[in-house]
Amino acid sequence: MSDEDIRRFIAGEADPARFRHADHVRLAYEMLRRDGFMGTLPLYAGGLRRMAERAGRPQAYHETITTAFLSLIGERILMGESPTFDDFAASNSDLLDKSCLLTVYEPGRLESALARQTFLLPQPKSSVSRAR
């Protein structure tokens, strides 16, 4: 992925119809390696918002999914030795499955309106049952 691809994404110029989940993961990998988590989060989130708006679906942007995926990808980058995205994808194939966050999030929590608006931490299953 080139610097121009990253620039186009950040500017909201990437074609939403051609941008699949694996493309999201690859872009996050490249940006995180270049700018770290705190440098990437606002640029990546802004790019996704602009992409959703361009697609006519601004409500599709999801704050928790965006932040959680970036965090997970960033953690895996720092824990492993993946000099290329292909190496990273081969050793972290679970991240190429959109539903992988359901291993740490209750579906209802992740699907909530609040989770779309602000980042929600995963809630331990024991906390979920106590909170009800």
pLDDT for 127: 52
For residue 129, pLDDT beyond 90: no
Give me the pLDDT at residue 132, please. 42
The residue among 68, 67, 23 whose CA lies nearest residue 44 is 67
The Cβ of residue 2 has, within 10 Å, a number of other Cβ atoms equal to 8
- Confidence category of residue 125, pLDDT binned at 50, 70, 90: low
CB 41 within 8 A of CB 72: no
The model's confidence at residue 77, banded by pLDDT at 50, 70 and 90, is very high
In sequence order, what DSSP letters do the residues of 18-79 get, joined into one string? Answer: G--HHHHHHHHHHHHHHHHHHHHHHHHHHHHHHHHHHTT-GGG--HHHHHHHHHHHHHHHHH
> If pLDDT is split at 50, 70 and 90, which confidence band does 2 have?
confident
Could you report the per-residue pLDDT of 19-74, keeping only the tens digit for each? Answer: 899 999 999 999 999 999 999 999 999 999 999 999 999 999 999 999 999 999 99
Distance, in Å, from the CA atom of 73 to the CA atom of 64, rounded to the nearest integer, reads 14
Q: Give me the chain's average pLDDT, please.
A: 91
